Amino acid sequence: MSGVIKKVAIVGGGVIGGGWAARLMLNGIDVKVFDPSAIAGQTLREMLANAKRAYSKLTLAPHVEQGKLEFVDSIEKAVSDVPFIQESVPEILDVKSSVLEEIGKHAPETALICSSTSGLKPTSLQSEMKCPERFMVGHPFNPVYLLPLVEICGGVQTSEDAKKQAAEFYIEIGMKPLILRKEIDAFIADRLQEAVWREGLWLVRDDVATTQELDDAIRFGFGMRWAQMGLFETYRIAGGEGGVRHFISQFGPTLKWPWSKLTDVPELSEDLIEKIVTQSDMQSGMHSIRDLERIRDDNLVAIMQGLKLHDWGAGAVLKKYEERLYEKAHSGVVSGDPDLSKPLKLHDSEVRPDWLDYNGHMTESRYLQVFGDATDAFLQFIGMNEEYRMQGFSIYTVETHIRHLREVAGGEALSVETQLLGFDEKRFRIVHSMLHPDSGDILATGEHMLLHVDTDEGRACPMGKYLCEKLAIIWSGHQNMVAPVYAGKGIRELK
């Protein structure tokens, strides 16, 4: 099902619903939103702007064309023609049940319906629904557009197939679905979070620590460990060579010591609430919420990028997501039989805000990125895809010459045309022309020599038959084209 989902309904467009809308739109999915709040539109658009900013830092992979956003004035209009619905209304059982019953009445019977609830059991929510077998919890984490975890919890009437389809869809938009084995209140992650939250409330109430000191204890200590390994793998290491068995034997008895108050909750009196508010204002009051969101996003992006270097945790999820983005960007870029009397049009892009230098123009490294993306599109076109690379072969760029012809400003659309200049059994030369699609003006050119490599042996080798045949087909047309006068020439000598 995930491959055909092009439109999703969001019912409830607050912090969570807006985060869902942003993630979906940035993955090329059209979104219809129903939210009766007068400020829902403004809030969601502000969140989308922050999400776009974060995504531009998160991955260099080509972005898909952004999905469309439409606000509607009823649940029926939102859900009547979509294959997937994400409900994110306030966490009140009667409200959610009523909304979900309304969604069930008007949604297609094959549509998947997921609730963003952070604690309500799906069995209690699906009891009055039409086709309850397609309903489940899809519980995300804020910011939804960045954090990959989504907990999937089915009720007694939820089908296994529905949960599987939902998981496949969430993976497609860059998430890490965790399907719960059992239906429990608050699911898994919130149960863990609440344990720390309860203990934190006691520590503030008893004046042991302030809100900032508690946050510092987390973000400078175990929070960093948890971000990449979690709880039990961290403790496995703490057990040394004896592993988790040794750790439990050493620290397990302390669980009976009167350290924590996890089964007890301090009274949220006005005094305690005022203490928390005052301390929180001292800690973070100098920043607006939008500023805090951007600081949070930048930090999360940095952590995930760091983890990606080691193909670990959330970084491994990001790496897989990027691979899908590249596949989408370079698959089906040429429909039908291309006119081989002209350069191939394989890649389009746009100058993102973070691509600009101090002059407000596209910085030098981004020219190489755009030409690299165009080269990837050409490789995909001739059949050098993931399946080919899995056989132990790849194509490496061994020489590049870029000419910068015109300044390029932020927000400008870019189009790249590619010409094959020649090939033999191990190499081929291509030249890219970066164009302004409206005027046709050439903004830059990039000439590249590429070499076919046996990645296991680390040396050049002849290309596979299919690649040679595809290059020969392209060359049958491109050999009749005039080669650019600058092709094969380096930087001019100073005289």
Domain locations along the chain: 2-186, 190-286, 331-478
Q: What's the rounded Cα separation, in Å, for the pair 144 and 116?
A: 10
Predicted confidence band of residue 260 (pLDDT cuts 50, 70, 90): confident
Contacts of 488 (CB under 8 A, 6+ apart): 447
CB-count burial class (<10 Å; 0-12, 13-18, 19+) for 480: exposed
Cis geometry, peptide bond prior to residue 143 (ω within 30 degrees of 0): yes
The alpha carbon of residue 236 and the mean position of all alpha carbons in its chain are separated, in whole angstroms, by 30
Mean pLDDT for the chain overall: 91
Q: Is residue 116 pLDDT above 90, yes or no?
A: yes
What is the mean pLDDT of the segment spanning 150-175? 97
Q: Is residue 98 pLDDT above 90, yes or no?
A: yes
Q: Which of 164-173, 331-340, 410-419 has the lowest mean pLDDT?
A: 331-340
Q: How far is CA 465 from CA 97, 366, 468, 471, 472, in A?
A: 60, 34, 5, 10, 10
CATH 1.10.1040.10 fits 190-286, yes or no: yes
The alpha carbon of residue 265 and the mean position of all alpha carbons in its chain are separated, in whole angstroms, by 37
What is the mean pLDDT of the segment spanning 298-311? 92
Residues 157, 150 contacting (CB under 8 angstroms): no
| 3 state SS of 176 | strand
Residues 123, 182 contacting (CB under 8 angstroms): no
Predicted confidence band of residue 87 (pLDDT cuts 50, 70, 90): very high
Cβ atoms within 10 Å of 400's Cβ, excluding its own: 14
Which tokens in the block code for residue 12? 């409830």
Please name which of 364, 358, 349 lies closest in space to residue 400, comparing C-alpha atoms.
364
**β pairing state of 112-115 and 344-350:** unpaired
* Predicted structure pTM score: 0.82
What is the mean pLDDT of the segment spanning 1-16? 85
What is the mean pLDDT of the segment spanning 84-101? 95
Domain 2-186: assigned CATH number: 3.40.50.720
**β pairing state of 442-454 and 459-460:** antiparallel
CATH 3.10.129.10 fits 331-478, yes or no: yes
pLDDT over 90 percentage in the chain: 72
Q: How far is CA 492 from CA 197, 365, 447, 487, 495, in A?
A: 65, 21, 15, 13, 9
Q: What's the rounded Cα separation, in Å, for the pair 399 and 397?
A: 6
Q: What's the rounded Cα separation, in Å, for the pair 69 and 75?
A: 15
Predicted confidence band of residue 16 (pLDDT cuts 50, 70, 90): very high
Residue 265's pLDDT is what? 80
Q: What's the rounded Cα separation, in Å, for the pair 17 and 12?
A: 5
pLDDT over 70 percentage in the chain: 98
Helix (H) or strand (E) holding 468: helix 465-478
Q: What's the rounded Cα separation, in Å, for the pair 162 and 328?
A: 25
Helix segments in 206-288, DSSP class H? 211-217, 223-228, 232-238, 243-251, 270-284
Please name which of 329, 398, 320 lies closest in space to residue 370, comparing C-alpha atoms.
329
Q: Is residue 3 pLDDT above 60, yes or no?
A: no
The pLDDT tens digits of the residues spanning 437-481 come to 989 999 999 999 999 999 999 999 999 999 999 999 999 999 999
Predicted confidence band of residue 218 (pLDDT cuts 50, 70, 90): very high
Q: Is residue 26 pLDDT above 90, yes or no?
A: yes
Q: Is residue 1 pLDDT above 80, yes or no?
A: no
